[in-house]
Structure 1
């Protein structure tokens, strides 16, 4: 079964509303540079999970998470004003793991590249264990055997 198209439209709309409201600012000094990356709404349209990232240090991430938790009611009210739905979905802010995953993947790629360079260096110095060409060649006929 496919995803509920109404839930997808509602999720996109919630993402826009929350991002616009955060761009205008919230009167909480703990809030850092927050980016809304994704919103997922349940099939019954009652709950929205808002995924976000914070640019900065771990302390700024913790402070921004606390600020978003404190502003959840105000942001839900803002979402309710701008949506034409009977019930406003509850909001849950979840830190997105994309930056950490991307950093981990970058580290793995760097490590693989380093190992490739080491293997190429070893291969350039390698010598054959036997003959250079180990394949059996057909016998060459002598001129007297004709």
Structure 2
């Protein structure tokens, strides 16, 4: 039951924060933010909010600072609209999904290139010895 409540609370917090960010904060540092996930602790006292930012490294840093500055305001709005007795603390964590996905894409591209090289070598390869090195029963009888 606690896990269901955690999941419902996390989903609701995700929606509330996303709606508030969509309306916009009065902070010019805030970039194009996407809330990817929210995880709430078992005692419902702390929420980790994962987000991604579209843009350069500077824009990501500026957005992190803007979210850190707006944490109190976002928490009070979440508490007001959530309707629970104790409002969880919010912690904004930059999600590493885009960087990990880029790294995985690079690894897959490298593996594909190596597979193509191996296939090219295999196509032009010849046997080191006879094409069929095994002695067949018919050949053994003939000798």
- When the two structures are superposed, what TM-score results if normalisation uses the length of structure 1? 0.93
How well do the aligned residues superpose, as a CA RMSD in angstroms? Answer: 1.4
Q: CA deviation at 1:133?
A: 1.3
Alignment of 1:33-48 (within 5 A): 33-48=32-47
Moved over 3 A (4+): none
1:91 aligns with 2:90: yes
5+ residue gaps, structure 2, are: none
For 2:109, the equivalent position in structure 1 comes to 110
Which residue matches 1:127?
A: 126
Instruction: Label 1:127 to 1:3 Cα distance change in 2 as closer, same or farther (>3 A).
Output: farther
- In 2, the alpha carbon distance for the partners of 1:10 and 1:88 equals 10
Superimposed CA distance per residue, residues 65-106 of structure 1 (whole angstroms, 9 cap, x where no aligned partner): 000000001100110111111010000000001111100100
Consecutive unaligned residues of structure 1, counting only runs of 5 or more, are: none
More helix by share: 2
Pairs aligned (count): 141
Is structure 2 residue 42 aligned with structure 1 residue 28? no
Task: Please list, as runs of the form range in 1=range in 2, the aligned pairs for 1:7-86 lying within 5 A after superposition.
Answer: 7-86=6-85
